[in-house]
Chain A
Amino acid sequence: MSATDEYDNETVTAYVDGELEAARRAEIDAAIAKDAALAARVDVQRKLRARLGQAFAGVEREPVPERLLAAARGPEAAPTQSPRGNVVPFPARGTRAPAQPWRAREWLAMAASLLLGVAISWRWLGAGEPVEMQGGALVASNQLATALDTQLASSQPADADVRIGLSFKARGGDFCRSFTLRGAASAGLACRAGDRWRIEALAKSDDASGELRQAATLPPAVLAAIEASIDGDALDAEAEAAAQGAGWKTTR
């Protein structure tokens, strides 16, 4: 008999929205691993959430109209204060500004400094660096590489340092997986390249608590990278397990 009925819809959605307390979340993580019907219900809600987030992700990349910038600066700001023409003056990164989406080239340029930040906070946890440069490309290493190789979203521990989000097949046939690094408050997308995981996107979370609540609330840059490469649907629990069992080999 299925245990699905033990969890009502509000519990399932609260789980997907990252609103459950750790103990309850762990309980459902464990139940999902044993109960395909429950896993499917969770998957439906996760996909809906991811879809809504992705649908509007592009708005954040649009240039902000000058009239809104002028309004935001407030009534006391002199109109001639900053003649910036069409250039959009994004605020300095830091305190409360939302994570800025990065295009491919921009993010590569930023990778070095971000890498340092991720590495420092990660090392603080006592693990090796999660990413490294190899042949001019950024690839996953240590705990992140292991998690990408072996961890299944449907059965991972609630308090895992690396949490896997969506797994999917990219247009070229390679498998890709999104991940969050809890201790580093960062999230990213990695795609299979030979026997390694190439980092396609990596962004700091803008979550004020410094910790990503849910894979579903990925930074816009990561969502955009997913949107740009995903071919069809994300893998369900069964397909994820099958792909993992086959060593994430590219199929075309």
Chain B
Amino acid sequence: MITGAEELSEQIVGLLPRLRRFARTLSRNQHDADDLVQAAIERAWRHQSQLKPGASLASWMFGIMKNAWIDDRRARGRRGEVALPEDSGDHPAVNPGDMNTEMWSVSEAMAKLPEEQRLAIALVLVEGLSYKEAAEALDIPMGTLTSRLARGRTALAAALGGAP
């Protein structure tokens, strides 16, 4: 069991850059995004027995992050806080230089997408997951994933226009 924990630890550390990137597609506030990554990792450790042998750790972790993010948004909604990721009160949205204008305009367009489309777009177009992996992480059928992707793409293309 010790070796199992060591291996899992190593693999999660290896995934950190991708988990942080996924979080930043969900929240433009870097501090909030890292909070989300931390919450997801803590959940993963608590529920490590649910990771099926042979299953993709990345898909599993992305799925946990999705749940943590949705829970967090609902909790904020109940507390009457701004549920949109526009929250810029406590922390600066970014450290200077961390987010270039291009990342800013793309995340702004993504922030306007409905939650479910944003998740599909983030996993497939930003993270490069296959449809199968993304559907598994989001726990939805493939057909649902592809239709969310299609609607998300149409909205993004309209928001971003042609030229980068």
Could you tell me which A residues sit within 8 Å of B by CB distance? 9-10, 13-14, 17-19, 44-45, 47-49, 51-56, 58-60, 62, 64-65, 67-69, 71-77, 89, 91, 95-98, 100, 208, 213, 216-217, 232-233
Contacts and interface: CB of A to CB of B under 8 A. Distances in A.
Contacts of A97: 14
Band of interface residues on B: 35 or more
Nearest to A88: B16
A48 B157 contact: yes
A91 B14 contact: yes
Given A10-B146, A44-B157, A233-B163, A58 B98 contact: yes
A69 B56 CA distance: 21
B164 A56 contact: no
B18 A72 contact: no
B37 A68 contact: yes
B17 A60 contact: yes
B153 interface: yes
Interface stretch (B4-12, B71-79, B83-91): B4-12
Given A48-B153, A53-B125, A74-B5, A59 B17 contact: yes
B124 interface: yes
Nearest to B37: A68
A52 B125 contact: yes
A98 B20 contact: no
Given A10-B146, A51-B160, A68-B34, 19 more contacts: A13-B149, A17-B124, A18-B130, A47-B164, A48-B156, A48-B160, A51-B102, A52-B126, A55-B126, A56-B25, A60-B17, A67-B34, A68-B16, A68-B37, A74-B5, A76-B5, A98-B15, A213-B130, A217-B128
Given A55-B102, A75-B45, A91 B146 contact: no
A68 B107 CA distance: 23
Contacts of A62: 20, 98
A98 B18 contact: yes
Given A45-B153, A74-B45, A59 B24 contact: yes
